[in-house]
Amino acid sequence: MLKRIRETPLKIRSLTVAAPHWRAIYDDQGRIMVAICHNMDLGDAWEWSDDARYPEKWATLAYKIAMNYFTYDLTH
């Protein structure tokens, strides 16, 4: 039997701008297992880099960071 879920109105929070920062989860040897980036648009840059409206400057930077991730992953 399905339960009816009470609908709640959509609440929009005010936009707060926070400084971007990095976090990581390390293994017992101190190597990074998970890299976490907060308040950044890396995923958007990777997703929209082929769109002519997306700034090349930010797409290029996002791909440079991705290559650093891949290189670190393959060498550690």
- Delimit the domains of the chain by residue range: 41-76
pLDDT per position as a tens digit, 5-54: 555 554 545 556 677 778 889 999 988 888 888 777 788 888 888 888 88
| pLDDT score at 15 | 55
| pLDDT score at 28 | 92
Rounded to an integer, what distance in angstroms lies between the CA atom of residue 71 and that of residue 74? Answer: 5
DSSP 49: T
Helices (H), 1-76: 42-48, 56-75
Please check the confidence at residue 56 and state whether its pLDDT lies above 60.
yes
Q: What is the mean pLDDT of residues 41-68?
A: 88
| pLDDT score at 37 | 82
pTM: 0.60
| pLDDT score at 17 | 64
